[in-house]
């Protein structure tokens, strides 16, 4: 106790500094909170509407606090809402999306890791050129490739199928996954590869035993990026599939295009949330790895 | 038989020539150091011996095998890298066994080999750790362990000590030397540190601009450097180069501080056909304070006057900067007998240890 005593004496300058510090902090947090609210309000409106009764929405308008809570709209949106004659809700489209996103994410990530490994650690004449050409894909909007894809899917007999979308997303995603992995692998010292070569390890053994164990940070980033990107993708889904084959993003549009009946804002809200849930969960559970992976080097 | 033989080795990237005709040889059990300033091609040469760089032209023989196009893993070599290149996700044990696993050595033999090497390097207690949990010196040991476990024909070291702090570097240097004595493997050791080369090697290849300037024992390299580059590179403080003029077959004159010419008698007569203008090379430790006692002990000592510009005591010795004409030269003195600043002392220069160079070709005369 005796050691603390001198510090307890009042120091006006220190107190002023502490006060200044408090107010500057307060300002920062106030502004951040304001922005967070602004960004969260639309999400909140949709969540509220998914829990309100259609009649209540009609009475009090779209933006309002719910007077009653019920999950009927969620159940309808998932399994029984009628879209153009079939009354199965969104679940089939939800599973379509899963069946498209999971394989496309895994395959494009594996290919990206291998491309990155080759383009950073096994360079050959022209490998930089190939890398730069692949980078072009990052900047190429999807609609440019609509016609070629239509032609190719037709030739392969993959129109209106989930496999077709998997193929598209694997190919369209390779630019990104390659870029991520290659840039990460560049920071792994070449000496490791040389040492492994002297140790008798070949191309695959070095990849499996040395490169892959170092890769989790970038693989998590790549998987999150690909999963959210492919899940949320809309254009290819709506152009190359229809009805039962559509991924959920494309199917959501069909909800609004119902036409004849009054708009069921409660069901639409619930359906939108169902469609947004997987990427949201991925972000909630993987977000911190995403940020960490993007800023982390390969070693240590 | 030589364990390593390099014949007329060339390496170029496009029009850029990195190695220009290297000839080198290491006898079985020998410790050869490649030393030179950065960019002299020594690391490239080592990488070519390891098979990590392709050969432009020439031959590399390991044992009785021409290995120009043999894969690194089949060359029967082991290498220690400057960065240690330990596999970061593996434990020390896994790092050491990785190569044996790649070659399909049975598990029991692997365990035995790890034990032997770990005991030799005193890293038994580290086997379960990851490289990130080791200090610099420990990483260095593990890197050597990974090389030792292979029992190769040839050890290659690429500046293995340059990432360590000064004290540890000296300790590890001693250990490498002890280790080499115990294991007796042929070793090629790249360094830019001439002290490391001098202390460790049985023979040193001094390299500059892609070619070997001199390949000889440390003593010969130090005492009789073939040219001014080798003379200046090896030894610290560096050899003094003093322009001189031949005044007879056994005497030269150099410019003293006051502008007059001082005559120094050579220890041996100059060969006929030597140029008139020469460079006198004299190491700092061969400059003394002149006394009659010194003259009787070292008859080849020549004397001249020089003012003392600066004195730098290091404890074990005292370095003095002396003025000679427009030049400053360094002398190395016993601390008890050191000159003081401002004093003009009579120098005794041991001419039997002097090297004379041709100033145009830079070669030893």
The answer to whether the Cβ–Cβ distance between A189 and B72 falls below 8 Å is no
Q: What is the pLDDT of residues A221-249, one digit of tens each?
A: 899 999 999 999 999 999 999 888 899 99
Q: Which residues of A touch B132 (CB under 8 A)?
A: 300
Averaged pLDDT, A45-63 = 85
Judge: B88–A300 Cβ closer than 8 Å, yes or no. Answer: yes
* Domain count of the fold of chain A: 2
The per-residue DSSP string of B147-211 comes to HHTT--SEEEEESTTTTS-HHHHHHHHHHHHHHHHHH--EEEEEES-HHHHHHH-SEEEEEETTE
* Confidence band of A76 (pLDDT split at 50, 70, 90): confident
Name the CATH code of domain B240-357 (choices 2.40.50.140, 3.90.226.10, 2.60.98.20, 2.60.40.1260): 2.40.50.140
Q: What is the pLDDT of residues B305-333, one digit of tens each?
A: 999 999 999 999 999 999 998 899 999 99
Q: Do residue A236 and residue A101 come from a single domain?
A: yes
Tell me the pLDDT band of A1, cut-offs 50, 70 and 90. Answer: very low
Mean pLDDT to the nearest integer, A127-139: 91
- Min Cα–Cα distance to chain B from A104, Å: 28
In a domain? residue A165: yes
**With an 8 Å Cβ cutoff, are A199 and B98 in contact?**
yes
Residues A182 and A248 in one domain: yes
Q: Of the candidates B51, B89, B99, which has its C-beta nearest A214's C-beta?
A: B89
Arithmetic mean of pLDDT, B40-47: 93
Q: Are residues A98 and A52 in the same domain?
A: no
Is A201 within 8 Å of B98 when comparing Cβ atoms?
A: yes
Kindly tell me if the per-residue pLDDT of A294 is higher than 70.
Answer: no
A109, A219 contact by CB (below 8 A): yes
Mean pLDDT of B229-236: 93
Q: Are residues A49 and A181 in the same domain?
A: no
Conformational region of residue B87, where left means phi above 0, alpha means psi within -120 to 50, and beta covers everything else: beta
pLDDT of residue A6: 52
Is B78 part of the contact surface with chain A (CB cutoff 8 Å)?
A: yes
Q: What is the pLDDT of residues A246-256, one digit of tens each?
A: 999 988 887 77
Tell me whether 0.90 is exceeded by the ipTM: no
CB of B46 within 8 Å of any CB in chain A? no
Question: Are A266 and A220 members of one domain?
Answer: yes
How much of chain B, in percent, has pLDDT values that exceed 70?
100
Give the confidence band of B59 by pLDDT, cuts at 50, 70, 90. very high
Judgement on whether residues A166 and A118 belong to the same structural domain of the protein: yes
Nearest C-alpha neighbor of B37 from the set B203, B207, B230: B207
A191–B85 C-beta distance less than 8 A? yes
Lowest mean pLDDT among A273-277, A293-297, B57-61, B102-106: A293-297
* Same domain flag for A148 and A211: yes
Judged by CB atoms closer than 8 Å, whether chains meet at A195 and B77 is answered as no
Distance from CA of B137 to the nearest CA of A (A): 18
DSSP chain A: -TTTHHHHS--HHHHHHHHHHHHHHHHHHHHHHHHHHHHHHHHHHHHHHHHS-HHHHHHH-SSS--SS---HHHHIIIII--BTTB--TTHHHHHHHHHHHHHHHHHHHHHHHHHHHHHHHS--TTHHHHHHHHHHHHHS-GGGGHHHHHHHHHHHT-TTSHHHHHHHHHHHHHHHHHHHHHHHHHTS-HHHHHHHHHTT--HHHHIIIIIHHH-HHHHHHHHHHHHHHHHH--HHHHHH--GGG--HHHHHHHHHTT-SSPP-HHHHHHHHHHHHHHHHHHHHHHHHHHHHHHH--S--
Q: Do A154 and A226 lie in a common domain? A: yes
In a domain, A142, yes or no: yes
Residue of B nearest to A198 (CA): B73
- Is any Cβ of chain A less than 8 angstroms from the Cβ of B134? no
Is residue A260 very low, low, confident or very high in pLDDT (cuts 50, 70, 90)?
low
Contact B78 A198 (CB under 8 A): yes
Cross-chain Cβ contact B87/A210 below 8 Å? yes
Q: Which of A191, A198, A213 sits opposite B89 (nearest CB)?
A: A213
| In the predicted structure, residue A95 carries a pLDDT above the cut 70 | yes
Mean pLDDT for the stretch of residues A153-158: 93
Out of B50, B103, B132, name the one closest to residue A300 (CB): B132
What confidence tens digit (pLDDT) does each residue in B252-266 have? 998 888 888 888 888
Q: Which of A191, A200, A214 sits opposite B102 (nearest CB)?
A: A200
Report whether pLDDT(B249) > 90.
no
Does residue A147 belong to any structural domain of this protein?
A: yes
Tell me the residue range of the domain where A31 lies.
5-70
Per CB-CB distance under 8 Å, the chain A contacts of B78 are 198
Q: Do B81 and A195 touch (CB under 8 A)?
A: yes
Report if residue A83 sits inside a domain: no
pLDDT band at A66 (very low <50, low <70, confident <90, very high): confident
Q: Are residues A160 and A258 in the same domain?
A: yes
- Measured between CA atoms, how close is B357 to chain A, in angstroms? 42
Paired residues of B253 in beta bridges: B245, B263
Q: Flag if A197 and B72 touch (Cβ within 8 Å).
A: yes
Cβ–Cβ below 8 Å for B102 and A213: no
Q: pLDDT band for A298, please (50, 70, 90 cuts).
A: very low
pLDDT tens-digit map of B176-200? 999 899 888 999 999 999 999 999 9
Give domain status of residue A84, yes or no: no
Look at residue A233 and tell me if it is in a domain. Answer: yes
The model's pLDDT over B123-156, given as tens digits with 9 standing for 90+, comes to: 999 999 999 999 988 999 999 999 989 888 999 9
**Could you tell me which residues of chain A have a Cβ less than 8 Å from any Cβ in chain B?**
189, 191-192, 194-201, 205, 209-210, 213-214, 299-300
Residue A176 lies in a domain: yes
* Whether A25 and A104 share a structural domain: no
The three-class DSSP label of residue B219 is helix
Q: Domain end: A18, A36, A70, which one?
A: A70
Mean pLDDT over the full length of chain B = 91
The closest alpha carbon to A214, from A103, A120, A124, belongs to A120
Q: b/e for A166-188, b at 16 or more Cβ within 10 A?
A: bbbbbbbbbbbbbbbbbebbeeb
From A212's Cα to the closest Cα of chain B, the distance in A is 10
Residue A25 shares a structural domain with residue A125: no
Question: Are A111 and A39 within one domain?
Answer: no
Residue range A43-57: mean pLDDT, rounded: 87
pLDDT value of position A300: 44
Interchain pair A200, B88: CB under 8 A:
no
Extract the tokens encoding A192: 């490791």
The CATH class for the domain spanning B2-233 reads alpha beta
Residue A205 Cα, gap to closest chain B Cα (Å):
8
Question: B174, B213 in Cβ contact below 8 A?
Answer: no
């Amino acid at each position: 106790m005796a050691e603390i005593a001198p510090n307890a004496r009042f120091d006006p300058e220190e107190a002023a500094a502490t006060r200044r510090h408090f107010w500057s902090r307060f300002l920062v947090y106030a502004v951040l909170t304001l922005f967070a609210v602004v960004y969260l309000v639309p999400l909140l409106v949709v969540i509220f509407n998914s829990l309100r009764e259609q009649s209540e929405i009609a009475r009090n308008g779209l933006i309002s606090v719910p007077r009653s809570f019920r999950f009927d709209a969620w159940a309808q949106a998932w399994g029984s809402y009628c879209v153009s004659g079939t009354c199965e809700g969104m679940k089939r489209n939800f599973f379509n999306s899963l069946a498209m996103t999971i394989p496309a994410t895994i395959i494009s990530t594996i290919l990206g890791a291998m491309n990155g490994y080759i383009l950073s650690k096994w360079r050959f004449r022209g490998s930089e050129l190939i890398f730069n050409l692949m980078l072009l894909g990052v900047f190429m909007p999807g609609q440019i490739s609509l016609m070629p894809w239509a032609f190719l899917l037709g030739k392969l007999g993959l129109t209106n199928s989930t496999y077709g979308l998997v193929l598209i997303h694997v190919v369209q995603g390779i630019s990104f996954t390659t870029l991520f992995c290659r840039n990460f692998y560049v920071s792994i010292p070449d000496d490791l590869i040389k040492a492994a070569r002297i140790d008798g390890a070949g191309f695959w053994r070095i990849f499996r035993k040395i490169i892959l164990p170092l890769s989790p940070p970038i693989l998590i980033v790549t998987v999150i990026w690909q999963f959210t990107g492919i899940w949320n993708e809309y254009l290819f889904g709506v152009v190359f599939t229809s009805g039962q084959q559509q991924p959920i993003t494309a199917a959501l549009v069909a909800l609004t295009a119902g036409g004849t009946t009054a708009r069921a804002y409660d069901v639409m809200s619930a359906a939108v949330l169902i469609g947004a849930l997987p990427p949201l969960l991925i972000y909630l559970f993987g977000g911190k790895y995403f940020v960490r992976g993007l800023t982390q080097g390969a070693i240590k | 038989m030589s364990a390593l033989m390099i014949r007329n080795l060339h390496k170029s990237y496009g029009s850029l020539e990195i190695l220009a005709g290297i000839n080198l040889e290491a006898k079985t059990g020998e410790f050869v150091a490649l030393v030179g300033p950065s960019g002299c091609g020594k690391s490239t040469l080592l990488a070519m011996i390891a098979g990590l760089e392709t050969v432009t032209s020439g031959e590399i023989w390991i044992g009785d095998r021409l290995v120009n196009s043999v894969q690194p893993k089949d060359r029967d070599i082991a290498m220690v890298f400057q960065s240690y290149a330990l596999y970061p996700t593996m434990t020390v044990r896994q790092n050491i066994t990785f190569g044996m696993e790649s070659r399909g050595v049975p598990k029991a033999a692997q365990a035995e080999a790890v034990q032997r090497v770990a005991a030799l390097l005193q890293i038994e207690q580290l086997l379960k750790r990851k490289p990130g949990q080791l200090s610099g010196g420990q990483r260095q040991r593990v890197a050597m362990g990974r090389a030792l476990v292979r029992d190769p024909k040839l050890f290659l070291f690429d500046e293995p000590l340059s990432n360590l702090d000064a004290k540890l570097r000296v300790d590890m240097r001693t250990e490498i030397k002890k280790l080499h004595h115990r294991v007796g493997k042929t070793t090629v050791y790249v360094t830019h540190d001439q002290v490391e080369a001098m202390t460790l090697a049985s023979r040193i290849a001094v390299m500059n601009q892609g070619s070997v300037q001199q390949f000889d024992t440390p003593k010969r390299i130090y005492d009789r450097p073939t040219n001014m580059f080798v003379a200046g590179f090896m030894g610290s403080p560096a050899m003094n180069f003093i322009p001189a003029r031949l005044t007879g077959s056994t005497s030269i004159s150099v410019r003293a501080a006051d502008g007059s010419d001082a005559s120094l008698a050579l220890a041996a007569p100059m060969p006929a056909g030597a140029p008139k203008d020469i460079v006198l090379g004299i190491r700092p430790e061969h400059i003394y304070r002149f006394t009659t006692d010194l003259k009787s002990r070292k008859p080849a000592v020549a004397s001249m006057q020089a003012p003392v510009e600066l004195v730098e005591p290091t404890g074990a010795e005292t370095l003095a900067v002396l003025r000679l004409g427009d030049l400053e030269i360094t002398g190395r003195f016993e601390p008890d007998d050191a000159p003081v600043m401002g004093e003009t002392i009579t120098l005794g220069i041991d001419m039997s240890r002097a090297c004379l160079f041709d100033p145009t070709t830079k070669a030893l005369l």
